[in-house]
Structure 1
Amino acid sequence: MTDTTDTTRPTRRLSEAGVSIWLDDLSRERLSTGNLAQLVAEKDVVGVTTNPTIFASALAKGDAYAGVLGQLAGTDVEAAVEKITTDDVRDAADVLRPVYDATNGVDGRVSIEVDPRLARDTDATVATAKRLWATVDRPNVMIKIPATVEGLPAITAVLAEGISVNVTLIFSIDRYRAVMDAFLAGLEQAKANGHDLAPIGSVASFFVSRVDASVDAALTAIGTDEALELRGKAAIANARLAYAAYQEVFGSERWQALAAAGAQPQRPLWASTGVKNPEYRDTMYVDELVVAGVVNTMPQATLDAFADHGIVLGDTVTGTAEEAAATIAAVEKLGVSIADVTRTLEEEGVQKFEVSWDELLTTTKTGLDAAGA
């Protein structure tokens, strides 16, 4: 895989370095006020990601959903949640449709996640993904499926139906390799099923900052100078190793055969890029992971911070695998198992989204009850 993007000239525009900016947020307010359209026009935003936490927060704030809750009064709460979230995603997809068309389907994508309570249920995940795809009914939507062991065959099955997929909650390199294998298998099946591969989009959402939050806590507990010096380095090293794995897989003959049939690569997407430690530079998970052909999905605060003072100095990923591996080895030498950390983060990630889903149901029910009173 080659890219001729010029990343040698310092710039504040990630797009000039070949990085796609997706907004990690969505709400009815952003849509109704034109805020999302403004971000697309002025901040180089070319996609949107959502999750249960984002929707729970959106429903809990202000009165932007008062009208739709009134219309849905008396409706089953889970049906109401699906109606609200799919409507928002459909409208966002319409806002991003010109980007989708201009980039031949590479960007302009909007993601919606399957019910996180289904993360360990392959068949239910596949069925829900198909329903969401049909309900939103927009070609530039991606269905988010978690990268659990049970999610892997669901990813393959959904792609095989010609449905675009955003694979979420990836923390480890081994699981990322399994995700890429599931993607390739899905496209191979889609081709065998007679689907046009060109419109099928996919990203692999590799989570970043949460790795540092967990590893840093362990290093701080160890407390030696060597341990403290390694804080804030594991997450970026882990992501850079993921990119090296991506280069390997998407340089293979297996991928080349699919590319020749018109397939798009499954791009790495850096997720969880908001900095959680105030001692760290607030754009570190953006400017340290710049490489052409990836996506960085950012919360509003990170988007604003980078627009204000972020600088792209060039490709900060390619050729860093050896150094990244040494960083991870140094962390593990101190007794911090990256495998244990990433396994725990996946479990916690699923649990957190389940909690957010319950909050979304509760908030929606409260709104429905108030509207029907």
Structure 2
Amino acid sequence: HTLTYMYLGTERSTVNQVSIRPDEPNSSPVYTETRTSFDKVHIVPRNALKNGLSYLAKVRVQLDNGTWTEWSAEIEFMCLTKPNFYFEQIGNSKYVYTNEMMLSVLYAQEQSEKVETYQFILQDYNHVNIQEYPVRIPTADDPFRFSEHIKGLQKGKLYYAIVRVTTKHGMVWESQGKEFVPQYVIPTLNSVVQPELNEDEGQIQVHAFLKQILGTPAKPYIPNRATDSDYHYDYWSPSGQTDAHYVIIPKDNPLMFTRLGMAKSSDFIAKLWCAGVDNGLFLQFSTKTDEKNPTGTGVQINFVKHDDYITMEKSFGRVKSRARSNVVQGLGQQPFYLYIKVTEYRVQMIIEKIGYGG
């Protein structure tokens, strides 16, 4: 550390001496060193002092005639370890999967130096400040986690995130610029429906081939079925509806998306065409915890139909959130579109009533 001092004497001086002792009564110096410098500075070498301890320092200078001035008044200071900053959403990867996020940083400092204020700074690829967010005060419940709502990120663009803190002892620390690139995606499905007439039974067999454009596969999950495949769906159209142009997904054979990473997608919109829906639970989204347990206990989102609206309940562990769609008078069992929008961890629903054949 470089100690800077002022010398107000009239005689020239190029030699200084610094003495540092622990901040305790009648303590002995742990560092005394004489240095020659044309500038009024004294550089204390690394490891000369210990982090986490308070010290008292004083300085004096030697005049050209070889005599020393009186010691200065002692100043108090504390040695602190440089803190570490960990960006939770970015981690060791430089990619994020949303165009807006609640960016949070974990602050770790060996002596638990209290942070009075923090401020986030967003920079472009040239390290030029794009936005300086307001100076904030850490929460009492979580004083070492700092958060800021970052939005308006452009896909594929390189950014740097910086957080600057001020501690109770007046120290100002600034993290290194953490680089990241938004790579958010909106899942899109492409489907080909092929009807096949079965003359013996007087029914039409519908083959639906579903393919995830982004490369993450969609597949029908059928428990204990050896012929389960990645892209092939096989269903019967309703009896008597030879011109049906839609695929029915029964409860015992749900459509499942694997490795889609929806928790990392922002502004994801699902559009569902529904008809003849009774009141009660009619749709359920769930995430599996691993490949060997496809019906695992991940995030569960249940959609319940009422007379004129739909409610949603999202569960993850002990945490539950609920939302309600718009109200559509006389909805009943009429056909409708259900738009489901997921922005980070919030779910919104909009019902749009349509006529048959819409």
TM-score normalised by L of structure 2: 0.22
Give the number of the structure with larger relative contact order, counting CA–CA contacts within 8 Å between residues 6 or more apart. 1
Query: Which structure shows the higher strand fraction?
Result: 2
TM-score normalised by L of structure 1: 0.21
Q: Rg: which structure is higher?
A: 2
Query: Which structure shows the higher helix fraction?
Result: 1
